[in-house]
């Protein structure tokens, strides 16, 4: 699962480590205004590249993400 912080930084999580939407908003939703001052860019469960094809890692536990994540 991918979350974009309010300043538009992508964070990827495995199913086990993924925060709930409420937890994610509290932790990542108030980190600034996205690039070029375009406002809060927070996104929960956003589109992401195919996991399993490239080397994407969970931002929490470091596990390589798979297609099911």
65 or 32, higher pLDDT: 65
The pTM score is 0.87
Which residue from 38, 44, 50, 33 is spatially nearest to 11, judged by alpha carbons? 44
Query: Model confidence over 34-61: pLDDT tens digits?
Result: 777 778 899 999 999 889 877 899 999 9
Per-residue model confidence (pLDDT) at position 66: 93
For the residues 13-18, what does the mean pLDDT come to?
A: 97
For the residues 5-30, what does the mean pLDDT come to?
A: 94
């Amino acid at each position: 699962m991918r979350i974009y912080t309010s300043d538009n930084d992508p964070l990827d999580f495995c199913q086990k480590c993924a925060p709930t939407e409420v937890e994610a908003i509290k932790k990542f939703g108030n980190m600034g205004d996205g690039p070029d001052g375009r406002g809060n860019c927070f996104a929960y469960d956003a589109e992401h590249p195919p996991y399993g094809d490239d080397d994407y890692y969970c931002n929490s536990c470091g596990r390589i993400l798979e297609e099911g994540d």
